[in-house]
A and B are shown apart, each in its own frame.
Chain A
Amino acid sequence: MPSARYRVFDHTADLGLEVAAPTLPELFETAARALFDQITDVDAVRPVESRDVSVEASGTEELLVRWLSELIYLHDAEGVLFSRFEVRSLTTTRVTTQVAGEPFDPATHPVKTEVKAVTYHQVSVEEQPDGTHVARFVVDV
C-alpha cells in the first residue's frame, strides 16, 4: 500500500499537492491518500468498509480530478473517510477502483481541513525520465 508521502506546494488561497509513484495506478492511489490526509490523519482511518468506484473522463489528468472529486462527493454526502485505494484498471478514459474506509468518528479521526473541491487548475500527470510518475493538483479548501 503506497504511503501518503506527498509534497504540499504553495498556492495563496488553496492547497497544492504533488505526489509521486513508480506506476500510474499507484500514483492514483497515492494521490487519494494524500488528499484524505488533508482532511484527517489518513493513518487513523480503518479500511473496514469497501466499495467500488469507477469514473470516466477524456484524458488521464481529467480522470484523476474526476476520480478524486468522486471520493470527495462520497465523503461529503455520506460522512465517510477513505484510507485504502486499489486501482483495478486504468485507461486514459476510465478508472475502476475499490476504496475502503469507515464513517467519520470525531473521537478517533482528527479534523484537519475541509476540502471543497479538487480543481482542474494546472493539473498535471507526467512520467519522468527515470520512470517515476508525478502528479500535481490543486485543492480548493
Chain B
Amino acid sequence: MQFLRKDAFRWEIPRTGAMRVPGIVYASEAMIETIREDQSPQQVANVATLPGIVKASIAMPDMHWGYGFPIGGVAAFDPDNGVISPGGVGYDINCGVRLLRSSLRVHDIGGRMKDLVTALFRNIPSGVGSARKDVKLSREEVRSVLDRGAAWAVKHGFGSEADLDHIEARGRIPDPDPDAVSDRAIERGRAQLGTLGSGNHFGEVQRVAEIFDETAASALHLFEGQITISLHSGSRGLGYQVCDDSLQLMLEASRRYRIDLPDRQLCCAPLGSPEAIRYLGAMAAAANFAFANRQMMTHWVRQTFEQVLGLTPREIGIQVVYDVCHNIAKFEMHTVDGRTRRLCVHRKGATRAFPPGHPETPEEYREVGQPVLIPGDMGRYSYVLVGTAGAFEETFGSTCHGAGRRMSRSAAARSARGRSIVRELEDRGIIVRSEGRATLLEEIPEAYKDVADVVDVVHGAGIARKVAKLIPLGVIKG
C-alpha cells in the first residue's frame, strides 16, 4: 500500500481503484511501520470507496484495525448521495470520556487514596453481573432515558443543570427514536444502567502533572497538582445490541440499494432511506443512554468523595470539565472547497475537536476551543487538549481518541502471566481495583501505544492543542 509523505505528520493513501477520495493518515514516521502491520490502512482505503464520501477518508495516529472502518477513523458523507454505516460508529455507541475537576490537591486526599478507590469501586459497579441495587428502571423509564439523555439523569437527582453545559451536545443527541431500539436492547440497558463496563473502560482519580498552555488551562479551571477524575464508558449492552440489530438490516440495505462493499462490515444505507433514519434514531437513543450513564456515575463520584473525605460538596468542588463522544455519527455544518454544507460525520475512535469561536464550544471555553479528553493506558498518563481551527479545516473538526492497542489480548495475557499487575502499579503509586482478573492482564500498560506519541502528532499537525497532562493515582476497572 502506497503512503505518500506530505509532511512530518500527514500521509496520503492515493486514490486508486474504487476509491472515490484519497486517504489521509495522521502519524509520525516512526508510527507508519506499525500502522502498516495490521490491515488498518486497507480499511482506510475501503472506506474511501463508499458513496457520497467527502474530501478524504481520514485516520488518526491511534488508528488500528476495526470492523469495516478502522478505529481512529473519520469519514464525512453528503446527505443527498452519501451513506450511514454502523461500522463507522462502532459497537459501543457513544463510548466516550468525561473529565471532572475538583478544588482539591493531592495532599487533601491525605493518605486515603486506597479508601477512596475502594469506595469508588463499590459505588460505581463495573464488570460482569454488576448493578446498583438502587437503579431499577421499568422499560418505559429506560425509553425516557433514551429520549432525554443526561437531562433525564439530572431530573432524577444525578448532578445539576450546570453539568449539562459542559457535555458534548448537552448530553442529548437530537432526534432519538426509542421505538427503533429493540426490546432486547432495552432489556440489556435496563439491567446495566449505572454501570461502568469492562474491557478498556475505567474510572480514574488523577492529578494534573503538567500544564502546557496556561491560558487554556485557566479557562478550563485546571491547575498543576489538582485532583481530577476521568470516566471512560459507553452505552453498555444497549448500544452493543443496537449495533448488532442494525448490521442485519444494513447488510440487506446494501444489497437492496446496490452498494458495492469491499468488506461486508462496511454495510450501510443511503442517508434519507428508511433504514438510515431508523439506525440514526436508534444510535441517538443509545448515545443518550451513555450520556445519562456518565451523568449518574458523576453523581456517585461526588458522593464517594464526600463520604470518604468528610468534606462538603463546596469544599470538594467537583465540576464537569467536559464530556466527549468518540464513537458516533453526527450531522454538522462544515466548509469544503469554500462551500458550507451539512454533512454526516462518522467518528469511530475519534473525538470532536471544535475550534475557538464555534457556537457549540461552551461559552466559558469559547476563546480557547472545545476540550478534548484523551485517555492513555492505566499506568501512564492522559491528556487534555482543545480543538483548533486547523481541525475544523482539515478533519471535519476531529482528532484522536486515545492510545490504541499495540498488543493483542492474548499476547498481553501471556506477557502478564505470573505477574501481580496490582502490585506493580501500586509500586508506581497507582492503586487499582479491578473486577475481572483476565481483563486486568489484557489491559496492562505495555499493551497500548504511548498516548504521548499520539498526542504529539495531533498537536504537531495542528488538529488539537495540548493543555494538560494527567497522571493516574487510583483506577477502578470492570
Asked if B286 lies at the interface with its beta carbon under 8 angstroms from chain A, I say no
For residue A106, CB closer than 8 A to chain B, the reply is yes
Q: How far is the CA of A112 from the CA of B409 in the complex (A)?
A: 13
Per-residue 0/1 for A1-37: is the Cβ within 8 Å of any B Cβ (1 yes, 0 no)? 0000000111111110000000000000000000000
Interfacial residues of chain A within 58-101, with CB under 8 A of chain B in the complex: 69, 73, 76-79
Query: What B residues does A12 contact at CB under 8 A?
Result: 38, 64-65, 405-408
The interface residues of chain A lying within 8 Å CB-to-CB of B192 are 76
CA distance A14 to B91 in the complex (A): 12
Q: Is the beta-carbon distance between B408 and A73 smaller than 8 angstroms?
A: no
- Docked Cα-Cα span, A36 to B410, in Å, equals 17
B243-A117 in contact (CB<8A) = yes
Tell me, rounded to whole Å, the shortest Cβ–Cβ distance linking A76 to chain B. Answer: 4
B38 contact set on A, CB distance < 8 A: 12
Smallest CB–CB gap between A74 and chain B, Å? Answer: 9
Task: Please give, as numbers and ranges, the residues of chain B lying within 8 Å of A140 by CB-CB distance.
Answer: 67, 91, 240
CB distance from A31 to the nearest CB of B (A): 17
Please indicate the chain A residues that have their CB under 8 angstroms from the CB of B261 in the complex.
none
Q: Are A141 and B409 in contact (CB under 8 A)?
A: yes
Query: Residue of A at shortest CB range from B39?
Result: A12
| A111-B435 in contact (CB<8A) | yes
- Report the separation of the CA atoms of residues A111 and B192 in the bound assembly, to the nearest whole angstrom: 16
Whether, in the assembled complex, B162 has its beta carbon less than 8 Å from a beta carbon of chain A, the answer is no
9 nearest A-B residue pairs (beta carbon): A114-B198, A104-B129, A77-B187, A112-B438, A10-B408, A76-B237, A111-B436, A116-B240, A76-B188
B421 CB-CB contact with A under 8 Å: no
Q: Which chain B residues lie closer than 8 Å to A13 at the CB level?
A: 64-66, 71, 405, 409
User: Within 8 Å of chain B (Cβ to Cβ): is A50?
Assistant: no
Residues of B contacting A53 in the complex (Cβ-Cβ under 8 angstroms): none
Main secondary structure of the interface of A (DSSP, over half): loop
Q: Is A119 an interface residue (CB 8 A)?
A: yes
**18 pairs of residues in contact across A and B, judged by CB atoms under 8 Å:** A10-B410, A11-B408, A12-B405, A13-B64, A13-B409, A40-B128, A76-B192, A78-B191, A79-B129, A104-B128, A110-B437, A112-B439, A113-B199, A113-B438, A113-B439, A114-B127, A119-B67, A140-B67
Complexed CA–CA distance, A112 and B198 (Å): 10
A5 to B410, CA, bound (A): 16
Contact between chains at B92 and A116 (CB < 8 Å) = yes
Interface residues of A, Cβ cutoff 8 Å to B: 8-15, 38-40, 69, 73, 76-79, 104, 106, 109-114, 116-117, 119-121, 140-141
Residues of A within 8 A of B136 (CB): none
Contacts of A79 in B (CB 8 A): 129, 131, 191
Cα separation A111 to B184 with both chains bound (whole Å): 23
- Asked if B442 is at the interface (CB within 8 A of a chain A CB), the reply is yes
Nearest neighbor of A69 in chain B, beta-carbon distance: B244
CB of B226 within 8 Å of the partner chain: no
Nearest chain B CB to A23's CB is how many angstroms away?
27
A77 with B237: CB separation less than 8 A: yes
Kindly state the separation between the CA atoms of A38 and B439 in the bound complex, as whole angstroms: 10
Q: Are B71 and A113 in contact (CB under 8 A)?
A: no
A104 to B192, CA, bound (A): 14
**Complex alpha-carbon distance, A109 and B437, angstroms:** 12
CB distance from B124 to the nearest CB of A (A): 15
Name the one of A10, A78, A114 contacting B436, with C-beta atoms under 8 angstroms. Answer: A114
The answer, yes or no, to whether B362 is at the interface (CB within 8 Å) is no
Within the assembled complex, what's the spacing in Å between the Cα atoms of A117 and B197?
A: 13
The answer to whether residues A121 and B244 also contact, given A79-B129, A111-B435, A114-B197 and a CB cut-off of 8 A, is no
Contacts of A112 in B (CB 8 A): 128, 436-439
A40 to chain B minimum Cβ distance, whole angstroms, is: 7
Per the bound structure, the CA–CA distance linking A117 and B241 in Å amounts to: 8
Q: Indicate if B18 sits at the interface (CB-CB under 8 A).
A: no
